[in-house]
Structure 1
Amino acid sequence: MPAEVRDRDALLASYDVTGPFDEPELQSVADLATHVCGVPCAVVNLISEHFQHQVAAVGITPSVCAREDAMCAVTIGEPGPVEVPDARQDPRFAANPFVTGRLAHIRFYAASQLRAPSGAVLGTLCVFDEAARELTAEQRHALDLLAGQAVGALELRRAYRALTVTVQELAEARDELLRSNSQLAAFAGQVSHDLRNPLAGVTGFLELLADHPALAGEATAVAHVDRALAAAGRMRDMVDDLLAYARVGGSLRTERVDLGVLLREVLDDTPPGAFGATRLDLGVLPSVRGDRTQLRAVLANVVANAVRFARADRPLVLRARARPAGDRWEVEIADNGIGVPPARREEAFTLLRQVHGPGTVPGGSGIGLATCRRIVAAHGGSIGLDDGVDGGTAVRISLPAA
């Protein structure tokens, strides 16, 4: 297929020839063309890859016809304007359905190309009659001038549409910036609040040691230092979590990832004694397409939450299952911990939001599940919470199959 034909749809895309085309200026051009040339019919045509779009017309009702039936589809390939006193005598048009009677009985036909500022031919301004005739030199020149006016109207339409799109994009960008600034302010406030508590602990215990160097002997001093270090550790963990959250959503290094192998690696890396008398019930997990490092972070967060929110009155149960769902896998990792109230399960994925009351469990940053959602979303998947084992929590993850 020649490049000129192949690119016609792209050429006309900015003029929106497929939408409503109510342009008074183009209608005026067609009307003037009939008066100037003394003919009953005039049409402004835009010609795409497969169709001729009559975007303004006098003497006929504007419509769309197949490109192979259009007389003007021949004209746009000519080096200049075309005039045919009797189309039955011209080999280019004699067999055309608008000439033979199948669609019309055109005899006289004249057209000027609509040339965009780039030089590309968009279509034609044509006049025609069922009687044979010829144009005078003045009429021919006027038809060419009117074709230029039609191009001007089309360019104004294109520029207006482009301006409308730009204004809309700017409005959306402004709204997004306002939303982002609002979220950033809230985010900064939360981080400031959550880091202030452990920082106050570190400061307080160190000041206590500074003010009372011989406070109750070495054992008490060691205890204060341990508590200060623990508070500093919580700050470090929160900063690490925030950095991990910020990194999600960049380019993924996708490969075939065996989730079963990955989960066992996460369990092997869990500190000794974290599970105690835990019962592991790990079914066969599938291979998915994804970034191994980021998916490992998802599983690590899920396992860490199961350990953190385990019930003190019974051994932890950790169960993993998977089932196919079309071109995806749905993976479920469930525990028998304290669970998450159904009304707050979606809230659990909000950054820096903790759905359990203060003192319910040892510290969490409220970042882990938010990070999991960002990672899974970057993979084109989804994640949510459901009922787990005996009142615990089940994390359901949907990911593309390998």
Structure 2
Amino acid sequence: MSTLRSRAQMLEPYAIIGEPPEPDLEAIASIAAHICGAPTAVVNLIDDTHQHQVAAHGFARSVCDREDSMCAVSIALPEPVYLPDARLDPRWADNPFVTGVIGDVRFYSSTQLINARGEVLGTLCVFDEEVREITADQRTQLELLAHQVVDVLELRRQSFELHAAIAQLEHAREELERSNEHLAAFAGQVSHDLKNPLASVVGYLHNLSEVGAVVSEPEAAWCTQRALAASQRMSDMIGHLLDYASVGGSLTLVPVDLGQVVADLTDDLSDAIASVGGALAVEGQLPTVAGDSVQLRAVLQNLISNALKFRRLSRPPRVVVSAAGRDGTWLVRVADNGIGIPSDRREQAFALLSRVHDESAREIAGNGIGLATCKRIVTAHGGEIGLTDTPGGGTTVWFTLPVDER
């Protein structure tokens, strides 16, 4: 990258060259002139080819060629410049602003504008056509004002960057809304194009399974039952995909008592828990959070069902639900003592249609949609979700939810 181009790029984020004057910079220029008792002061930004007077006191702002600029020399010096009479300094004696070609500058003060990255943006310049001296105290005040100029410029840069970031977020939000609309449309299309024909297939298979010739022929009956089971699995997968497509996009936020949700799930899943000799417990008191009650119930039901499903055959499954406050959010944990998930596959576990357990779990029914659905719901609530080990073996799924402050 060339040096000339780098100065233009350095000044570009401040978005001030060629723009109307910044009132705060005009005020600083006025104060600088008053401190020195001089009639004129200016804030200069110097790019590759020109000096831009972005704020001025005592005269109209203008632009000049960099080769004519007195401050183009000052920005390369190691310290501020204070000249009672610029004609007496060989570095500026032949400058057109001194010789009368452009101006008749005598007193000349130039303080560099240095940002936090050590880049010299330009100068705070005070000048007069009369010879004058300034004190050390006045010089110190000019240096303080130069810092104020940089602060104003940095605030302007950060403001423009913030507005750009907000615009990007708004664009992303609009894109997300469009994506959710397309996803909902896709879900409807799937329902029409896949689920309804599949229901017909299942119906025909049921009828076929009751035909006498099939019932009396063991191999035909076995094949029919296999086809029915496969059709049911396909129907379940389509249903789960439709659920995944529909969750997270629209939330009905109400106070949700997670303790009551787990109590209801304990009743609903009592047969499933008893069938594997398992136990579902709550550790401590679960909070009331702000969320969509239906979708948060789906998260806990998915996690508890997974914990019962991916159990160790050597011991009864135990599932413990707990929560703790953390940095303005609730951290909810669902811990089991099951077969666990390898640490290098935990991120993959939340991908749609992903199965991450080893060969020993291959016979456990599952379609890789449950955790993806949980992540979609938790993310829609502004939370995060992840996996850790349970002490003593197993998996703990944790997720965060906002505190209900209503």
Number of the residue aligned with 2:281: 281
- Deviation at residue 106 of structure 1 after TM alignment: 1.7
The aligned residue for residue 232 of structure 1 is: 231
Q: One-letter code of the match for 1:239?
A: I
8 Å CA contact 1:318–1:335 kept in 2: the answer is yes
Query: Given the alignment of the two structures, is residue 258 of structure 1 paired with residue 257 of structure 2, yes or no?
Result: yes
Letter in 2 for 1:52: L
Letter of the structure 2 residue corresponding to residue 371 of structure 1 = T
Q: Which secondary structure state, in structure 1, belongs to the residue aligned with residue 372 of structure 2?
A: helix
Q: Is the 8 A contact 2:254 2:291 kept in 1?
A: yes
Corresponding residue number in structure 1 for 2:383: 381
Query: Which amino acid is 1:392 matched to?
Result: G
Find the counterpart in structure 1 of residue 25 from structure 2: 52
Equivalent pair of 2:311/2:338 in contact (CA under 8 Å): yes
Structure 1 266/398 Cα, relative in aligned 2: closer, same or farther at 3 Å? same
Aligned to 1:248: 247
The number of equivalent residue pairs is 260
Distance in 2, Cα, partners of 1:344 & 1:286: 30
Residue 353 of structure 1 aligns with which residue? 354
Partner of 1:105: 38
Give 3-state SS (helix, strand or coil) of 2:250's partner: coil
The answer on whether the counterparts of 1:275 and 1:316 sit within 8 Å (CA) in structure 2 is no
Would the aligned equivalents of 1:335 and 1:389 in 2 still touch at CA under 8 Å?
no
Q: Deviation at 1:123?
A: 8.2
Pick aligned residue for 2:398 from 390, 396, 399: 396
Cα deviations by residue, 1:222-277 (Å, 9 ceiling, x for unpaired): 65544333222211221121112122331322121111111122222227244332
Q: 1:389 to 1:269 in 2, by over 3 A?
A: farther
Question: Contact 2:317/2:338 (CA < 8 Å) preserved in 1?
Answer: yes
* TM-score, normalization by structure 1: 0.53
Partners of 1:105 and 1:47 in 2: CA distance: 21
Superposition pairs for residues 92-241 of structure 1, below 5 Å? 97=31, 101-106=34-39, 127=59, 214-215=213-214, 217=216, 224-241=223-240
Is 1:275–1:307's contact at 8 Å kept on the other side of the alignment?
no
Contact 1:248–1:375 (Cα < 8 Å) also in 2: yes
Q: How far apart, in 2, do the equivalents of 1:231 and 1:307 lie?
A: 23
Q: CA deviation at 1:18?
A: 9.3
Inter-partner Cα distance in structure 1 for 2:327 and 2:238: 39
Q: Write out aligned runs for 1:25-64 (5 A).
A: 46-48=21-23, 51-52=24-25
**1 CA distance for matches of 2:58 and 2:212?**
100
Partner of 1:290, secondary structure, is strand
Query: Taking structure 1 as reference, are residues 231 and 259 closer, same or farther at Cα in structure 2, changes over 3 Å only?
Result: same
- Note the alpha carbon deviations across 1:176-208, whole angstroms, 9 max, x for none: 99xx9xxx9xxxxxx9xxx9xxx8xx89x959x
Aligned residue for 1:337, secondary structure, equals coil
Task: Kindly indicate whether the alpha-carbon contact (under 8 Å) linking 2:40 and 2:57 is maintained by their aligned counterparts in 1.
Answer: no
Give the structure 2 partner of residue 371 of structure 1.
373
Counterpart-to-counterpart distance in 1, 2:15 and 2:364 = 66
1:323–1:329 Cα contact (<8 Å) kept: yes
Partners of 2:55 and 2:39 in 1: how far apart?
A: 19
Structure 2 CA distance, aligned partners of 1:244 and 1:269? 19
Partner secondary structure for residue 127 of structure 1? coil
Deviation at 1:295, TM superposition (A): 0.8
Give the Cα–Cα distance (whole angstroms) in 2 for the partners of residues 353 and 252 of structure 1.
26
* 1:288–1:399 contact (8 Å) kept in structure 2: yes
Q: Is the 8 A contact 2:329 2:402 kept in 1?
A: yes
Secondary structure of 2:213's aligned partner? coil
Q: Using the TM superposition, give the Cα deviation of residue 103 of structure 1 relative to its aligned residue in structure 2, in angstroms.
A: 4.4
5+ residue gaps in structure 1?
Answer: 1-15, 27-43, 54-66, 72-96, 109-121, 133-160, 185-190
Q: C-alpha separation between the residues in 2 aligned to 1:239 and 1:272?
A: 25
Structure 2: unaligned runs, 5 residues or longer: 1-9, 42-53, 61-126, 131-159, 184-189
Classify 1:264/1:224 alpha carbon distance in 2 versus 1 (closer, same or farther; 3 Å).
Answer: farther
Q: CA deviation at 1:346?
A: 1.5
Aligned 8 A contact 1:334 1:389 in 2: no
Residue 291 of structure 2 corresponds to 290
Residue 395 of structure 1 and its aligned partner are, at CA, apart by 0.8
Q: RMSD value over aligned CA atoms?
A: 4.6
User: How far does residue 104 in structure 1 lie from its aligned partner after superposition?
Assistant: 3.6
Look up the match of 1:32: none
Amino acid at match of 1:253: T
CA distance in 1, matches of 2:398, 2:40: 72
Tell me the equivalent position of 2:321. Answer: 320
Report if the CA contact (8 A) 1:206-1:224 is conserved.
no
Counterpart code for 2:374? C
Deviation at 1:309, TM superposition (A): 0.9
CA 1:245–1:388 in 2, change beyond 3 Å: closer, same or farther?
same
User: In the TM superposition, what whole-angstrom CA distance separates every residue of 1:34-86 from its partner, at most 9, and x where no partner exists?
Assistant: xxxxxxxxxx96134xx125xxxxxxxxxxxxx4x666xxxxxxxxxxxxxxx
Q: 1:235 to 1:21 in 2, by over 3 A?
A: closer
Inter-partner Cα distance in structure 2 for 1:345 and 1:107: 66
Change (3 A) 1:360 1:248: same
Note closer, same or farther for the CA distance 1:313–1:130 as it changes in structure 2 (3 Å cut).
closer
8 A Cα contact 1:17 1:46, kept in partner: no
